Amino acid sequence: MAAEEVPQIYLITPPEFELSSFPDQLAKVLDGTEIACIRLALASRDEDWVARAADVLREVAHARDVAIVIAEHIGMVERLGLDGVHLTDGARSVRSTRKALGADAIVGAFCGASRHDGMNAGEAGADYVAFGPVGATALGDGTVAEPDLFSWWSEMIEVPVVAEGAVSAAHAAALSRVTDFFGIGEEIWRHDDPLAALLSLKSEME
């Protein structure tokens, strides 16, 4: 990514939300600032509920010409008219997913802090590779994706990269020149005004 370009926002939904109120909240954020893509990332294993949520959020997203992908549920992509899938197992299922969904679908891969997994995912046909968390979080095993990883990737690899996980204002400022996207989710949804929280983070990316 060229140094003068500002990273785009890849918006991640909360793992749980009320279907009666969250679509309006999402619409307010989409109407208030430019969003490149939305990831539906739900903790629920209730496929009916996930499908209902995906249906509603797809309408919100597509009404504003924003792509929406779903975490893990490959089988729902074509059935629900979604734009693609976000895989969380590194490079392992990228090739088979690409074959199943075709060339036009978005296929992304979360690769933790593994440069090796990231390169393999890119070679297997991933449209983007996500590294994280970039900040300290109780989730996972405590491994953090360091700034050096993003610096190396942006210099050596053409596949777009996403920085995500516990993104603070300091991370937004430090990584803005070496990442193509910031994956932003809980960082804003825990606030009473998610749009204001996002705009505050974006102001650090200038």
Q: What is the pLDDT of residues 31-57, one digit of tens each?
A: 999 999 999 999 999 999 999 999 999
127 pLDDT higher than 60: yes
206 pLDDT higher than 80: no
As a whole number of angstroms, the distance between CA 122 and CA 128 comes to 7
**pLDDT mean over 180-194:** 97
Q: What is the pLDDT of residues 50-84, one digit of tens each?
A: 999 999 999 999 999 999 999 999 999 999 999 99
Closest CA to 191 of 203, 182, 201: 201
Mean pLDDT for all residues in the chain: 95
DSSP annotation of 16: S
Residue 193 lies in a domain: yes
As a whole number of angstroms, the distance between CA 60 and CA 195 comes to 16
Long-range pairs of 44-49 with CB within 8 A, sequence gap ≥ 24: 44/16, 47/73, 47/76
1 pLDDT higher than 70: no
**What is the domain-level CATH number for residue 108?**
3.20.20.70
Residue 95 lies in a domain: yes
As a whole number of angstroms, the distance between CA 150 and CA 125 comes to 19
User: Which residues constitute the domain of residue 156?
Assistant: 8-203
Residue 1 lies in a domain: no
* Sequence-ordered list of residues with C-beta below 8 angstroms from that of 133, at least 6 positions apart, any chain: 139, 140, 144, 145, 164, 165, 166
Residue 76 lies in a domain: yes
Indicate left, alpha or beta for 205 from its phi (over 0: left) and psi (-120 to 50: alpha).
Answer: alpha
Residue 2 lies in a domain: no
Q: Give SS3 for 196.
A: helix
Q: What is the pLDDT of residues 133-177, one digit of tens each?
A: 999 887 667 899 999 999 999 999 999 999 999 999 999 999 999
As a whole number of angstroms, the distance between CA 32 and CA 24 comes to 12
Which tokens is 80 given?
């629900």
Say how many domains are in the chain. Answer: 1
Residue 3 lies in a domain: no
Quote the pLDDT of residue 139. 67
